[in-house]
Chain A
Amino acid sequence: DTAVSQTPKYLVTQMGNDKSIKCEQNLGHDTMYWYKQDSKKFLKIMFSYNNKELIINETVPNRFSPKSPDKAHLNLHINSLELGDSAVYFCASSPLRVSTDTQYFGPGTRLTVL
């Protein structure tokens, strides 16, 4: 009965490779997000999708491309990986934002670029 799941949990790869991280939520939420957490634990939003439409696209390199095939999935594809991409990436989802904005985070994917 996992709410927000991500695969893989760990990803080790070489510079220059292309990789994808998958995210799925079974909460019926309309909005999904990708966050990057660096080595200092700083959480920074990368993308937000609402009903499969891109809402937020922070200043991330265009090597990062989110793809939302349906409301329950938001995948992150990264081209030409660089050393600085090493971080933990979190997917999150939230319901309709009326009086609250509880975001439910996945367990994270630790990406290591060698």
Chain B
Amino acid sequence: QQQVKQSPQSLIVQKGGISIINCAYENTAFDYFPWYQQFPGKGPALLIAIRPDVSEKKEGRFTISFNKSAKQFSLHIMDSQPGDSATYFCAATQLGAGSYQLTFGKGTKLSVIP
């Protein structure tokens, strides 16, 4: 099944805290896992992505942790800032010929309060 389950639906974090969003997938053929960030009134934009050959990828305050055996991956936002308040979508896809479908989770609305 081409499904990606994302939790929580909404998240409130104090400024400076750690935000954690979790995703789980079912299709073991998925081999690319991006996270998208969407601000109100804007289109989603790629934040960070990971391939399953690594267990962690870090870019600044954003880290993806990947557990292939559990078919789970998560986004950690360290030192969360009010400017991080947005909706975050995890996604998964199978790269390679013939597959152009990016399956999105249902999104997590993050609010970082000062």
Of B15-23, B59-67, B89-97, the stretch lying at the interface with chain A is B89-97
Chain A interface residue number, banded: 20 to 34
The distance from the CB of B40 to the nearest CB of chain A, in whole angstroms, is: 10
Whether B102 sits at the interface, judged by CB under 8 Å, is yes
Are A105 and B102 neighbours in the complex by a CB distance under 8 Å?
A: no
Contact A56-B100, Cβ < 8 Å, known A41-B106, A43-B107, A101-B32 = yes
| Total A-B contacts with CB atoms under 8 angstroms apart | 61
Measured CB to CB, the residues of A under 8 A from B are 4, 31, 33, 40-45, 48, 50, 55-56, 90, 92, 94, 97-108
Measured CB to CB, the residues of B under 8 A from A are 32, 34, 38, 41-46, 49, 51, 87, 89, 93, 95-96, 99-102, 104, 106-107, 109
Could you give 29 example pairs across A and B, Cβ below 8 Å?
Answer: A40-B106, A41-B106, A42-B104, A42-B107, A43-B89, A44-B104, A45-B101, A48-B100, A48-B101, A56-B100, A97-B96, A97-B99, A98-B95, A99-B51, A99-B95, A100-B49, A100-B95, A101-B34, A101-B95, A101-B102, A102-B34, A103-B102, A104-B45, A105-B43, A105-B45, A107-B42, A107-B43, A108-B42, A108-B43
